[in-house]
């Protein structure tokens, strides 16, 4: 995968916005005190999604390195 040619389609942005809204809305109802409005819930949801993805990637890399002994095979 070439990172320099990474593009996001408009549909991808829409999905991120919907996921952020849903995550922010659910989080605002889970935590006492209510939400931060539509924009605030969107931002909280997107940031939460990024944080969870980062933590998942770190855990996955840790597991892969433990299994492979820190060596990756290149094709």
Residue 2 above 50 pLDDT? no
Query: Is residue 20 situated within a structural domain?
Result: yes
In a domain, 63, yes or no: yes
Domain span at residue 26 reads 12-68
In a domain, residue 24? The reply is yes
Q: How many domains does the chain have?
A: 1
* Start-to-end Cα distance in the chain: 13
**Report field, pTM of the whole predicted structure over 0.75:** no
3-state secondary structure of 12: helix
Would you say residue 30 lies in a domain?
yes
* Count of Cβ atoms closer than 10 Å to residue 41 Cβ: 22
Question: What's the confidence (pLDDT) of residue 39?
Answer: 86
Please indicate, yes or no, if residue 7 is contained in any of the structural domains: no
Instruction: With respect to residue 2, please indicate whether it lies within any of the assigned structural domains.
Output: no
Q: What is the pLDDT of residues 14-57, one digit of tens each?
A: 888 888 888 888 888 888 777 788 888 888 888 888 899 899 99
What was the pLDDT predicted at 25?
A: 84
Say how far apart CA 39 and CA 71 lie, in whole Å.
43
CB distance 48 to 23 below 8 Å: yes
């Amino acid at each position: 995968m070439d990172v320099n040619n990474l593009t996001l389609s408009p549909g991808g942005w829409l999905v991120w916005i919907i996921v952020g809204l849903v995550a922010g809305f659910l989080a605002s109802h889970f935590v006492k005190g209510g939400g931060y409005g539509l924009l605030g819930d969107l931002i909280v949801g997107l940031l939460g999604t990024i944080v969870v993805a980062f933590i998942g990637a770190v855990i996955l890399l840790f597991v892969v390195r433990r299994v492979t002994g820190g060596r990756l095979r290149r094709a």
